[in-house]
């Protein structure tokens, strides 16, 4: 396997992992919205911590809503971090792939020049 093939495969892998990061963001937003809706529906006047509604009652539904909110926020943060990480990794692989490809192009041009010199 050549360096160019290896870098191409790693760039594809980073693109795949970045897509998984976007899917984690979507899942996190679904959990967060579900937890928010569940908390607002169950309690008529919930308490708010920044933008997260919560209401601690004796029923388990308030705990489920708070858990969905927290899991959603964690998944959102994790997904954003993964997307940024893999996007930066993919850009590095693409830059290295460009360097390797330009090096090979220079070698091919040098070979053509040598053939032209030999023919003359």
Summarize pLDDT for 59-86 with one digit per residue, the tens. 777 788 888 988 999 999 999 999 999 9
- What b-and-e string marks burial along 30-60, b requiring 16 or more CB atoms within 10 Å of the CB? ebbebbbebbeeebeebeeeeebbbbeeeee
Q: Is the pLDDT of residue 119 over 70?
A: no
Tell me what pLDDT residue 54 has: 66
Extents of the domains making up the chain: 3-95
Helix, strand, coil percentages (3-state) for the chain, rounded to 5, are: 85, 5, 10
Beta bridge partners of 47: 54
Global pTM value? 0.72
């Amino acid at each position: 396997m050549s360096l160019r093939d290896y870098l191409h495969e790693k760039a594809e892998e980073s693109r795949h992992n970045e897509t998984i990061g976007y899917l984690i963001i979507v899942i996190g937003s679904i959990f967060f919205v579900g937890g928010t809706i569940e908390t607002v529906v169950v309690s008529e006047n919930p308490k708010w911590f920044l933008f997260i509604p919560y209401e601690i009652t004796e029923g388990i539904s308030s705990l489920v809503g708070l858990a969905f909110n927290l899991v959603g926020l964690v998944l959102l943060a994790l997904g954003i971090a993964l997307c940024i990480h893999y996007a930066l990794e993919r850009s590095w692989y693409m830059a290295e792939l460009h360097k390797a490809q330009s090096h090979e192009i220079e070698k091919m041009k040098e070979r053509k020049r040598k053939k032209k010199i030999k023919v003359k």
